[in-house]
Chain A
Amino acid sequence: MATMKEWIEASPSRKNLVAQERLIALVAEQIYAAIEDDESSKAALAKALGKSKAFVTQILSGTRNLTLRTVADIATALGRTPQFELPREHAESDWQPLQVASFVQLRSRAGVRFPCPNDGEVAADELRAA
Chain B
Amino acid sequence: MVEYEAGAHTTIWRMPEAIETWGAAVALVDDAKRDAQEAQLVGRLQLLAERGRLRSPDMMNPEGDQIYAVKTKEGLRAYGWFTRVQSKRAFVISHVILKKKQKLDPADRIRASNCRDAISGTLQATNGRN
Contact = CB atoms under 8 A, between A and B. Distances in A.
A20 B43 contact: yes
**Interface band, chain B:** 20 to 34
Interface in B22-43: 35-36, 38-40, 42-43
Interface string B1-31: 0111100000010000000000000000000
Contact of B56 (A8, A18, A22, A61): A61
Contacts of A28: 55-56, 59
A61 B54 CA distance: 11
Nearest to A15: B39
A21 B44 CA distance: 7
B51 A17 contact: no
A71 interface: no
Contacts of A60: 56, 58
Given A3-B3, A14-B35, A17-B35, A25 B42 contact: no
Interface string A60-76: 11110000000000000
The 7 A-B pairs of least Cβ separation, nearest first, read: A21-B43, A17-B39, A61-B58, A32-B55, A22-B43, A4-B5, A21-B40
B103 interface: no
Interface residues of A, number: 27
Interface of B: 2-5, 12, 35-36, 38-40, 42-47, 51, 54-56, 58-59, 73
A21 B39 contact: yes
A13 B43 contact: no
A33 B42 CA distance: 21
